[in-house]
Each structure stands twice: as structure tokens, then as C-alpha cells.
Structure 1
């Protein structure tokens, strides 16, 4: 086996990229003992952690999964070791928000489906650990699932997620089950039961703090994203479980675990995972504002927390900063979000600051200008109700004052002129 020294192989060639090393190690598994296989798979899992999106997409191919299937069938790779590899591949797939569907076109997918059904039909005589592992691998590697498989897989994962022990091993089991569950579809037949169970999981954590931070975010994600009847959940999510307050608290605690002054490429594995969870929260909060329309004073606190994350991230972590601005833009576009909440939270101030920075990021600047373009549309027309109309005028006055104070009104006017074809008759803020 070729050795690597100081970034180069012993013959002086360049060091292999993580995805190339991964493929090489996979080939070597065929000639290893069970123990040696496990050691190599642990190394392969570490390589997956290092891979970027493009490298993962290059590795997660139908050919790869077919090769693993063949190795299992020929007894050159144990099922236990295959699961050790596949589960980690799926874990990274979801956590990094990478969607590769090649698994479902492979022989391995069909084999797992058969094994899942077989284990479920054994009922009391089944291998419970194998059953859970198969279900998790299957869902972590993709989100295509028949109705019949849904009825088998989701109850299995809910049962695992319902574990309340606070030891580290149980917390990891619950986290993995919720991660797999987050990638499952939903069926209206079982929806009410499952959503009630997830609600119970969230309530128990709020009192006992038994979940990991990722697991808690995943439980919320399932509760909000898997329902097709938002009205029945609105009061529960907004006023009973206090989503906005909880999301703000989680983002604040997660942010303390990140050295925002360090460049993104220099962050370690643990810090990268934390940032992945922060990124997931930001993306997920959009679903909350889009689907739930009850007003709550806690929204201001959530926006304030997002403002702090944006300020901390915009120098060295562009993607998170951009996600924050896009969320602000989408909120400005959402009639159920009060403009006053954006004003009180400092969201408008921080975006004005961004436009005024000497080292302006073009991507963030464009999203920031879009934010004000959308706000301008919120102030078009007049309200029939006198009180509402007075409030609209007062908010508009405050907005103009802030823009004049920051000296960016000309930039925004020019941007609006360049997009004038999107307007019906007037020019938003600056229409007389």
C-alpha cells in the first residue's frame, strides 16, 4: 500500500483528494479481515467528513452502491461493516444538505427494501438493531419511499426517537433516527399520531434537555415541515411550544460555539458541524414564517438573534451571512411578517449597514437591495382603516429616515429604477 508523507506519496506524486482516497480504500476492503475492514471504514468515514459537495457527488454514485451490494453478496464485506459505512455516508448527506438520488437506482436499494420488509414481518422474532439500521440507511441515503415502506419505516424511527434516556449513546441513537425521519415523506393517514408524538418529544426536551442540539432542531423540522394542515398546528407551534423563542435560544447558544473571526476553511470538524446546524436553522425558520401566520411578540427576539448571527458571520462565513439576508428578504416578502418586527429587531439597520460598508460583498449587496425593493412594495397603496393607514405612514417615515441617515437612499433609488419593469404603476417608497 502506498504511503503519504507531507502531502505527497512516497514517489513524489501529489496527495490524493479525499474522494480518490475513498475509492482506493473501498477497493482494499475486499481483501481485509472483518476487523481490518472496520478500521478502513472508520478512515473512509473521516474522509467523507472532509469532502465538499462536489467530491461527495462524485463519490455517491449508482456504481458505488452497486459495488457495495456486490461485495455484500459475495461475502467480501459484512453487513455490519457496510451499515457502518452507509449510515455515515447518509448522515453527512443530510447534514450537509446534499441530495444525491443515485442510491435508489442501485441494486443495494432494492436489497434493503426486501430486508426491511422481511424483518418487519418477523415481528417479535426480528433482529431489532438490524431492522433500525436498515431503515436509517435507506432513508438517510434518499427520500423516495412507497406508502407501504412509509408505514413500516416511520413507526420504527418514531419508536427510537421516543427514547428518553440522557446517556450519550441513546442521544446519538435518537439523533440518527430523527435525521432519517427528517428525510422521510409523510402520509395523511398516520400524520396526526406521529405529529403528536413529535410534539411530546419537543415538550419533554424543553423540560429535561435530553436531546442533542441537532436532534432538537430535527424534531422541530419534522413537526413543522411534515404537516399539510398548518392551521391545526399554529397555536401549538407558536404559543404552546414557543417556536420563535426556542429557535432564538438555540441559535444564540450555537453561535457561542463558533469562532466567527476564523476563516471558514480553517474551522475544525466539531465547529463545522455546529455551523451546519446553524445553517439548517436559518433555512428552516423560513418554513416557519411561510407556513404559520399567527402574530407573536417572540418574533422580534428571533429576528434580533438572526441579526447577531449575520453581523458575526458576514466577514468570514459568506454562505451563512447570505442565508440571513435571504431570510430577511423572504420575510419582507411575506405579508404575515410585520414590518415593525423587522424594524424593532434591527434587521433593517443591519442591512443598511451592509450597503454602507467600504468592503461591500456584491452578493450580499444584491440581496440587501432586493430586501428594500420588497419592503417598498409593502408600502404601496393605502389602507382603508384609518389606524392601519396611520401606522403604514409612520413606518414608511421611519424607513426613509433610516435610509437618509445611512446615506444609501440613492443606491436604493437607482436599484429600483433598474427594476422598474417589475412595478405596476408606482415606485414604492419614493412614489409621490
Structure 2
């Protein structure tokens, strides 16, 4: 693959991963902070509303003002103060906006010395800020109600709570959250670099396989096309010859044309399987009858080559598979067995039930396969012996096609050497 194109694609993957992590962390931060802001003050605001509905607490504060006794406590049945919230203060307002209970507030009045009455927020939670003597900003939440009794000078009652501790905790949490998100995003950059490299592996592997496939297909197509072209050009140099005179050249061209047809058919099968366009037409089939009919022509060919052919298929099994496709698989395996065995060798086909699978085994006593070549035997265009494959007319596509068909049936195929010599192919197809 073009190096610049590879770098650009990898950079694209890297930027996509970085952006994805950044968006995720950003959304996480925004959602967390939003929910925290909404919930952090909810308990404080609910407490202010509850206090505004507690008539005993309000009456107690009014009595403190009227009796000028800031240490007056009204206790409930369990002798506990009705209100002991340290940050919460109750302000009694006159009609003209004067704070009536300054004395009972004592030192608590100093921070709210500049507080003014604002009747626009009656029966609503309201946030406001004040400056203290040191010019520090104090934040409060407030709830203002009208006094229920008209017998005294109290016109409004205001409940205020200092929210500086809550705001300080929120700011600290936000800072920690932001720092944490930034640190993890920086770590995600390294992860994105690794992922971009990892994501390129299947792309490069697929590209290499495609390039290898195209190169091998071009090579296989070039040879028969060259032979046909040379023969046709030669025929043009003999315009007066009869067909019988050039029978060898014509026969050779026809033979190469057949090879081309077979090759293009195999390539089309592989291309369809790669694009998931290979359709299976499964039907219940009796394996014994299927194997018996399929192997009959091969038994005759083996006899002509002075080879022994055995069929071990006495067990009647009903298996659901595509007859034409599995027929193609077995023909490929039997054809290989006949090609790579000599006179005196034997070929054995066995059909048995193994668990929930139909196992078909085709083995021969011909030459074993080099153990180093076994892992590559099902690769496309792979041939252990190029010279021998050309003699037998092989392209190295048969086993690749067989493997693909078996996989499409959710089965498996494997090859192994047998002792003292020989090769065994095992195919497993699910019974249903």
C-alpha cells in the first residue's frame, strides 16, 4: 500500500479516536457538573421551604424579638430545639424594610448588615451575594414570606442560609473533575495512537491479501492467454493450411480456454464468498446414498490407475446441506487424492456421525505434506510444488474454495499427515 496513503489513513484513525475520547470526556464533565449544580443546593432550598412552614420556629423568633431575649428556646416534646441550623438565619422585616431582630441575631447580623428587603421574591427561593467588611463575597439562598399575624410590627419573615461552603466544595470538585478529565484525555491520546495502529492492521492485511490475489490471478491468467494468442498468431501465418494441419495448435488453444473458464469460475466463487453473496440451498440429504453416487466415477478412475479405492459409509445419516456445494468440496478433495497418488497407493473415504456433526474423511497413502506447508495449504494460489501443480493443471484455488464452502455451512475442514505416509482431510458439517 502507498506509504503516504497509509500514514494519512492512520492519522485519520488517530484524530477520530482522539475526537471521540474528547467528546466523551467533555459530555461526562458537562453532565456531571450540571447534575451536581442542580442537586447541590436542592437540600438547602428544601430546608428553607420547610422552615418557612414551621410556625413554631417563626413564632419563637418573633417572641425573641418581642421579649428581647435572644437566648429564648422553645423545645419540643423531646426537649430538643426546633431549629439549630448554624448557617440558617431568620430575619424579621417591618413594612418599611427595617430589620427588627438585629439584637437577637447578634454577631450573625454583621455579615448581612447591607441586606435590603426585596419583595419581588416572595414565596420563592432566591440567591444573592453580599460583601463583608473584608470585601469578601458571601453567597446566600433566601426564602421570603409574609407574616401571618398582623398584631405585631413583623410584616415579612426571611430565611437565609450561607452557601459559601457548598459553593467552595463545588469549585473544588469542578477543579478536580476538570484536572482528572484532562489527565485521562492525555492518556487517551496514547491509547488513540495505539488504536490507530491496531485498526490499520486488518486494513493492511486485507490490502496485502487483495494485492497478492490480484497478482496471482494475473499470473495464472497471463499464461493461458499468451498460449492462445501465440497459437492464433501462428495460424494467421498459415492461411492455406487445413484444420487438420493445425489440429495440435487448435487443441492446445481449446485446452487453455477450458483452463481459463475453470479458473474464472473459481475466482468468481471466491469473490462471491468474500462479499457474502454465496447463497446456499440446503436440503435434507441421505449421506450414504450421496457418497455412493459421488464416489462411483472416482472408483473407476482409481482402478484405471491401479489404485485402491475404499468407501466406508454404512451409517445412514440425514444431514441438511447444499448438495451442489458439498459435492464440489468432495470432488476437490478426491481429485487431489487421485492427482497426488501413484499406482499401488490407496484412497479411503469414510462417513460417520460425530456428536452433532457429520464427519467426512478422505485420506490417501501418497506422499505426505511438508509440515511447514500445512498451515498454508488452504491459502489462495498456494501450491506446495509449482512444477507438479502445473503438470496436474492446478491453480491452488481448490482447497481455498473447499474451505470457504465448509465455513459457509458453519463447519470445519482440516488436513494432517498420517503415518507412515499419506494425507488425511477431515470435513465436519452440522447435522442441521
Q: Shorter-chain TM-score: what band?
A: under 0.3
> Which entry has the higher C-alpha Rg, 1 or 2?
2
TM-score (normalised: structure 1): 0.17
- TM-score, length of structure 2 as denominator length: 0.17
Which has the larger share of helix? 1
